Amino acid sequence: MDTKRAGLASLLDDDDETPIVTPNRKSGSKAKEKEPVKPKITKAAMKKVAREGGVPSREAQQPAEKRRRGRPRSNRTVQWNVKISPEAYNEIVDISDEKGWVFGEFVDQALIALKEKQERE
């Protein structure tokens, strides 16, 4: 394709005296600016200023007592999902909490009581 038809003739002309812009750099000198002098501050002074300013400390704190989520672990490994009424569930929870049982222990105790009742009959 002809450069004149592409409209590139003026860009490729050697007669064009368009100046080439180069960044303004200092040649050869690497003058470093001096860093400002920082005053020496002691840790005690920093802590005092932080306390007075209400800045919270990042120092390690004593870990809070771990709270156990849910019920304690047991050696029971079989899962048994059942649907029961809300009233029955609330009674099971109340009895289990009163006795300090997990649900598995409640079922074990209920099974023992059922067997004893059947033997008496």
| Position 108 in a domain | yes
At 1, list the tokens: 């394709």
What are the pLDDT digits (tens) for 19-60? 565 556 555 555 566 777 877 888 888 888 888 888 877 777
Overall domain count for the chain: 1
**Rounded (to 5) percent helix, strand, coil in the chain:** 40, 0, 60
Q: What range does the domain containing 105 cover?
A: 85-121
| Position 22 in a domain | no
Q: Whole-model pTM?
A: 0.39
| Position 109 in a domain | yes
| Position 18 in a domain | no
| Position 32 in a domain | no
d(CA 112, CA 118): 10
Handedness of CA 41, 43, 45, 50 (dihedral sign): positive
Give pLDDT, residue 92: 93
| Position 21 in a domain | no
What are the pLDDT digits (tens) for 58-97? 777 777 776 656 656 667 888 889 999 999 999 999 999 9
| Position 105 in a domain | yes
Largest Cα separation within the chain, whole Å, is: 121
Other CB atoms within 10 A of residue 32 CB: 5
| Position 91 in a domain | yes
